[in-house]
Chains A and B, each alone.
Chain A
Amino acid sequence: MTRFIEINALENGAHDNFTTTDEIETPDGWVIIPDDMEVPLSFPFVTFHYRKGVVTDMSPLPIPAPEPPNDEPDPNEILNALLGVTE
């Protein structure tokens, strides 16, 4: 199973990533993490170098504190959840 990581970091510093059993070509802007590479516990908050489409080394980055919720849940949403009503 191949593991991919996006080269460009997201706003919060994380790198999008995925593994798949499908045989796919490396998407543009992504590189492969070798199977035998140790991934830091901070993953996907990492910094890394790559060569010829493959990550050569990876280092941890500080994990940012989770952002507080954007807003309070809608009262109707809470009520529907409690009643098991689907929209």
Chain B
Amino acid sequence: MQDRISNHPNRWVLTPVTGETDTYDFTRADDPTQTGTPLNKATFLPDATVTNIETVTGASGVSLPCDALDAIVNALDTMGLTRNAKISYGTWTGTGSGASRSFTFNWTPYIVIATKTNYAFSGGDSANSGADSFMWLNGQTSTGPRTFTLSGTKLTWKYTNSAYQQRENLNESGVAYSIIGVCLK
């Protein structure tokens, strides 16, 4: 778009309308050197653009520029271009107390790996070798002896039948743990 450039900005000629009282026609008298792009439908949202947006996005009733922007944003969201995955990372120090342990992510976790920090990841399926770590995939309610509950973005894991509950819950007193999650908005 181009601005209007003139030698006498805001200069107008007022011509009285014949037969009317206090009524005038305004005529620009600013002596433009560049007339600029007109501010009208053809420059803001021409019919061809409306047709193109409605055809590509499937939207209907696009009339105003804001309608066009909404249609485009909605289409992008549907296509997943604004639905980003995120890696979340966290830690905690075990308290040695409680029947379960949980971690709340910002977004919905789909893959979660948790382990005792500075400790080899061992899969989490065994009451012994896997006691200090686990990998969880969205939808799983248990991996071996450990049960999982996803409530919103909060993942809770619980182990109740072992003599080593706090170890299984990744909550041994004073022990450092790490967790990483692949999350979707």
| A residues adjacent to B (C-beta < 8 A) | 1, 10-12, 14-24, 27, 42-45, 63-64, 66-67, 69-74, 77-78, 80-81, 84, 86-87
Contact = CB atoms under 8 A, between A and B. Distances in A.
Contacts of B103: 18
B173 A17 contact: no
A10 B173 CA distance: 12
Q: Assign chain B's interface to a size class.
A: 20 to 34
Interface of B: 87-98, 103-106, 125-128, 142-145, 161-165, 173-174
B97 A63 contact: no
A18 B143 CA distance: 24
B95 A74 contact: no
Q: Is the interface of A mostly helix, strand, loop or mixed?
A: loop
Contact of A66 (B90, B96, B98, B125): B96
B100 to A, nearest CB: 12
Contacts of A84: 126
A20 B106 CA distance: 10
A81 B142 contact: no
